[in-house]
Structure 1
Amino acid sequence: MKSLLMSQVSLNKVSRRKLLLGGLAIGSLSAFSSLGVAASPVNSDFAGFLALSKFLTGKKDLSPILAQRYYLGLHTQFPDLPKKIATLLQEIHAFSAKSMDDYLRRGPTPAARSTATQIVSAWYLGIIGENPHKSLIAYSKALMFLPVAGALVIPSYGAGPLAWGGRPEPVMTFQGSPNEY
């Protein structure tokens, strides 16, 4: 009886707005999770994709979350991705390649090379797919920013209103002319 009274008291402290938002959040999570479980590939696909990505990029600290996003995005763009990855892995194992450079020296087939290029391109650019179906997966976490991470700030906004327009025509002035700056 006392616990029932305590639960009623604690419910009175929660605003109706928070209670409603909490209920909506739980309801939407359950709806989305049921869709995601049915449509998503198996976790072993992600683990295999992450291991392959580490081999192809030469980076050992790739994000598993980004690996899932890249894999799902690439799988959406290219439904035969698992088959392409299997072909690429077979070729890597057949060559007994220790690194991506070693693999490339042995002359991969065009199909396997294309798959490797799509995966590496996704990690470095943060973009998957081809026009007109490109998708941005990661911006600031794209590998292209790693080499300059200590020296440059990753741009996250436009440089200003003039940056979006066309370049102005160059003005030539001669030394001694009234237009000299």
Structure 2
Amino acid sequence: MARQKNEGRRQAIIDAAIVLIAREGLGAATAAIAKEANIPNGSLFTYFPTKNDLLNQLYLEIKSEVIESVDEGFSDAIGERAQMLHMWTRWTAWGARNAEKRRVLAQLSASDLIPEEVKLAGYTAANRSVNLVQQVASQGALRDQAPAFAGAIVESFAATTMDFMIRDPARADEISLSAFEALWKALR
């Protein structure tokens, strides 16, 4: 008979993986993740048959969390600028609040351990924001560039902004808004 899965244990594994991968990188051992989650090592494999399964699920869950945060209230924003500002402030605020998750997502996004079809699923789920960036960028200096290039510029801009928001939390909102103004001018 198959063992009953416990959602609390599953979440403990995810949370432990975030902590250890943020600290040690993708090479963090499953035994260390299980220890951090306070479960027997073999129990980890009840929830995630392989480490790659864990990493892929981790990627999708963090990506989904970012998308949910950005999409919340998105439809209330009217016009491209208001929508971009909404997307930007929600995204950078999430990143500033979730430094470990952001660090893990960056490592996973750059890793060959996450197959292209899984990365594509994350990209597709973010279609509202991706389409908006492409639409805005198509009107400015980047209009003749590949859409992925504009997206990469926006992601780099966001990462830098989040880093500075974390360094100076008292000015985080000001930093985010200043960066948005610069980004908007760069895209338009």
TM-score computed with the length of structure 1 as normaliser: 0.29
The structure whose residues are more often helix, as a share, is 2
Identify which of structures 1 and 2 has the higher relative contact order when contacts are C-alpha pairs closer than 8 Å and 6+ apart. 2
TM-score computed with the length of structure 2 as normaliser: 0.28
Larger Cα Rg: Structure 1 or Structure 2? 1
